[in-house]
Structure 1
Amino acid sequence: MMDLADKSVGFILSAISLSIFTYYTFWVIILPFVDSDHFAHKYFLDRKLAIIIPVLAGVALVSFLCIFIGLVMIKSKKKSS
């Protein structure tokens, strides 16, 4: 039973990741070559956000990792004392 739940979660996470990757690829690589009056432009955000969003996500990820590692180091230091 648990194996099926793990597979379902893995499939959902893979589907979400693939859809985000596909959207971002079209947004950054293909959309600049499409005419600006094409209907496809209304489904995508401004191009400036194509840089800002990943940078902010990266900063948040690195911050979270630093905080996590710091907390683990503090807890392990308390255990060894």
Structure 2
Amino acid sequence: MELADRVVGFLLSFISLSIFTYYTFWVIILPFVDTDHFIHQYFLPQEYAIIIPVFAGVVLLCFLCIFIGFVILKSKKKKA
């Protein structure tokens, strides 16, 4: 079980670091690269650099509110 936990932790760390590196390069470094450079074909347009995190945050907030609502409803049912 301990080895499986380490593998999952390593995988999550690797995915998080990859996403962070990609996003950082996309938002901070790519605007300073010429628009006709071949590297631009690997990235979405700059507008999505704001749209994607905002959408992900709204979805996460909605799931969090739904989860808290279910927990509150479940705890009220146990009291009654």
TM over 0.5: yes
Deviations 1:14-70 (A, max 9, x none): 000000000000000000001111111011001001110000000000000000000
> Which residue does 1:31 correspond to in 2?
30
> Which residue does 1:65 correspond to in 2?
64
- Asked if residue 4 in structure 1 is aligned to residue 36 in structure 2, the reply is no
Runs of 4+ in 1 over 4 A off after TM superposition: none
Gaps of 5+ in 2: none
| Amino acid in structure 2 at the alignment position of 1:9 | V
- Count of residues paired in the alignment: 80
Q: Structure 2: how far apart are the matches of 1:7 and 1:72?
A: 30
Q: What secondary structure sits across from 1:47 in the alignment?
A: coil
Instruction: Give identity over the alignment, percent.
Output: 74
Structure 1 residues 18-57: aligned runs within 5 Å:
18-57=17-56
| Amino acid in structure 2 at the alignment position of 1:75 | K
Q: What secondary structure sits across from 2:45 in the alignment?
A: coil
> Which residue does 1:17 correspond to in 2?
16
Q: Structure 2: how far apart are the matches of 1:39 and 1:26?
A: 15
